[in-house]
Amino acid sequence: MTPSVPLSPLPPSPAPSVTAPARPLLPWVRAPRRTLAASLALGVLAEVLLDRARWGLGFPLLVAALVGALAWLGGREGWQRARPNAWLLAPLGLVSVFVAVRDSSWLLPLNVMTAAVLLMMLAHFWAAGRVERLGLTDYVVVFFGSAAQGLLYPPVLVRDGVDVRGLKSHSRLLWALTRGLLLTLPVLLVFGLLLDSADSIFSSTLQRLLSFDLGLELLVGRGMGVAFGASVAAGVLGHALRRRATKELGDAEVASATPRLGLIEALTLIFAVNALFFVFAAFQVAYLFVGDASSPAAGYTFAEYARRGFFELVIVSSLTLALVMALTRWTRRETRTAQTVFRASTSLMVVLTLIILASAMRRLSLYEDAFGYTLLRVHTHVFMVALGAALAWRAVTLWWKPERFAVGAFATALGSVLVLNFLNPEAFIVRHNLERYARTGSLDTEMFYDLSADAVPGLVRAEATLAEQYPGPLATVLKEHLERLEQRDTVPEWNVSRFLARRALLRTGAWSAPVNP
């Protein structure tokens, strides 16, 4: 007998590897069919309201429709989650309405861009999170990140909202109809040509019936406009109603960075900068605020003195704000005494910077007293006030809730946009330059040609007051504005400033016939 050979045990089969499910390339959206329908409707509405020579009432109506669609799609549960960030609706509504109020070519892009930022913020925080939990750079990340993610939602809504299977089930019928048309067209063409040559009356009638303009160029343009508007609406709605799989920016407080700079090194830098700022601020106070600053420093003209110092001082103020933020983030403060010394020294740096910023504003005021106001100078004034407010808020948050500086800076930026709109810079320029004319007898009327309808009521009042001393130029300016305003506004283009400008010109008799503003 053959001896039996023991069988070696088979090696254990390897356990099947468990891999994590791959994250889908495209996100998922709740209620895709309703969202797709709302996006298409908003695309049509955007084409109707905004495809105009000028923007006006149509813009706030479109923004209101977009927010209304978002509230409708999100439902009561979505609104409950969005309530902590609902305060964003107030500035969004104001800047949108100001598109229909101001006619300035400076304020229109500023208002539209601000509305776009607020819409992206609202979409990001509709389902969860809080705006005040963002860090300063997180606002930039949220805006551009939301805009980039919004590009993914149009194909998602088409994928989930269109019944592709239903289209496949009717593919045979569609293919049969296509083949029938291919067979029919040549036959109709042959018979049509023969009958056309057989009867002249039939031929002329057929030519009249076929001599219509399809307007393909217009249809293609309108279609592209609707598609673009629907894609933007789909991006905003889809991003707001997305299903969150992970934590996102704003869902939790920003984690503080690990301090890497010693207190002694930081205080050395702070004390040195404070000493430099103190010496410079002392010179500025002595000359600009205490001494005689009615004339520029010796050896300088007004223009040289203001321009040479202004931009440098604004840059110094901006860099100081960045320096304080960096030191606050990276400096080790391990004891209460160290914390107090650091806060006091950085607060002093902020105070000295505010004095430097005030000197920059004083220099600009000297320049304006000498040469008058322009749009750039007025906008720069508001920017400097906003920068000063941000510096002051930084000093406050050094002692109270440092993590709230970012939302305060964001609110300051929004506030500066609203201040510009409420101020009406062009009317402000006309009013103050005419007051300067009453003091000095000098008036630059060339600038008035570049102003918009916002300035027309003030110019009309000025022309009535200065008709004897300044009869020619202001009348020419008003004639120029009259020619611009002769084109009537449609309902989507209606604008408060253009309405008031036409009414002011009508009262002067510039229009011989009544005009419907």
309-321 pLDDT, tens digit per residue, is: 667 778 888 888 8
Which residues lie closer than 8 Å to 428 by C-beta, 6 or more apart? 373, 378
- In this model, does residue 177 exceed pLDDT 70? yes
Q: Is the CB of residue 143 less than 8 Å from the CB of residue 117? A: yes
Q: Which of 16-25, 142-151, 161-170, 324-333 has the lowest mean pLDDT?
A: 16-25
What SS3 state is found at 469?
coil
Q: Chain centroid to CA 387: how far?
A: 19
Q: In 3D, which of 70, 36, 28 has the Cα closest to residue 234?
A: 36
Please say if the pLDDT value at position 328 is more than 90.
no
d(CA 306, CA 293): 12
Rounded Cα gap, residues 135 and 138, in angstroms: 5
Q: Is the pLDDT of residue 233 over 80?
A: yes
Per residue in 93-110, pLDDT tens?
999 999 999 999 999 999
The residue with tokens 């389902």 is 127
Q: Which of 4-8, 107-111, 136-140 has the largest mean confidence?
A: 107-111
Identify residue 33 by its one-letter amino acid code.
Answer: R
Q: For the segment 378-426, what is each residue's pLDDT rounded down to a tens digit?
A: 888 899 899 899 989 988 988 888 888 888 999 999 999 999 999 999 9
| 429 vs 26, residue with greater confidence | 429
Give CA–CA dist 88/422, Å, rounded: 19
pLDDT for position 312: 78
Instruction: Among 10-19, 50-59, 115-124, name the one with the lowest average pLDDT.
Output: 10-19
Q: Locate 372 and state its tokens.
A: 């008058």
Kindly state the percentage of the chain with pLDDT values over 70. Answer: 82
- Residue from 281, 277, 258 nearest 269 by CA: 277
For the chain, the maximum distance between any two Cα atoms, rounded to a whole number of angstroms, is: 139
Q: How many helices (H) does the chain have, and how many strands (E)?
A: 19, 0
433: exposed, middle or buried (C-beta count within 10 Å: 0-12, 13-18, 19+)? buried
Three-class DSSP category at 398: helix
Q: Is residue 248 over pLDDT 80?
A: no
Ramachandran region, residue 168 (left: φ > 0; alpha: ψ -120 to 50; beta: rest): alpha
Of 26 and 335, more confident: 335
Average pLDDT in the 480-484 region? 86
Q: Is 99 helix (H, G, I), strand (E, B) or coil?
A: helix
Q: Taking the CB of residue 477, how many other CB atoms lie within 10 A of it?
A: 21
Cα-based distances in Å from 79 to 63, 124, 317, 509: 17, 14, 41, 53
Half-sphere exposure of 337 (CA within 13 A, CB side): 1
Q: List the domain boundaries for the chain.
A: 32-161+220-240, 263-423, 427-507
Q: Which residues of 306-328 are buried (b: 16+ CB within 10 A; e: fewer)?
A: beebbeebbebbeebbebbbebb
Cβ proximity of 438 and 169 under 8 Å: no
Which H or E run contains 3? none
For the purposes of burial, counting CB atoms within 10 Å of the CB of 182, is it exposed (0-12), middle (13-18) or buried (19 or more)? exposed
- Indicate the DSSP class of residue 126: S
Nearest alpha-carbon partner for 356 in 396, 314, 395: 314
pLDDT at 459: 87
Query: What is residue 250's DSSP assignment?
Result: T
Check residue 517 and report its DSSP letter: -
Count Cα neighbours of 11 within 13 Å in the Cβ-side half-sphere.
3
**Residues in Cβ contact with 82 at an 8 Å cutoff, skipping those fewer than 6 apart:** 74, 122, 125, 126, 127
The pLDDT of 159-174, averaged and rounded, is 66
Average pLDDT over residues 326-330: 87
Tokens of 302: 């007004």
Three-class HEC string of 144-196:
HHHHHHHCCHHHHHHHHHCCHHHHHHCHHHHHHHHHHHHHHHHHHHHHHHHHH
The mean pLDDT of 461-484, rounded to a whole number, is: 76
Higher per-residue confidence, 259 vs 264: 264
Where is average pLDDT lowest: 53-67, 93-107, 265-279, 497-511? 497-511
480 backbone φψ class: left, alpha, beta (φ>0; ψ -120 to 50):
alpha
Question: Do 91 and 111 contact (CB within 8 A), yes or no?
Answer: no
Lowest mean pLDDT among 16-25, 114-123, 324-333, 381-390: 16-25
Closest C-alpha to 57, from 90, 103, 104, 91: 103
Among the residue ranges 25-39, 337-351, 496-510, the one predicted with the least confidence is 25-39
Q: Average pLDDT in the 474-493 region?
A: 85
What is the structure's pLDDT at 75? 80
Report, as an integer, the average pLDDT of 77-99. 89
pLDDT of residue 212: 58
Highest mean pLDDT: which of 115-119, 129-133, 179-183?
115-119
Phi (first) and psi of residue 162, to 5 degrees: -100, 135
Q: Rounded to whole angstroms, what are the CA distances from 204 to 198, 211, 447?
A: 12, 10, 61
Of 50, 414, 461, 449, nearest in space to 229 by CA: 50
Instruction: Report percent pLDDT > 90 for the chain.
Output: 24
Query: 178, 210, 181: which is closest to 196 by C-alpha?
Result: 210
Average pLDDT score, the chain = 81
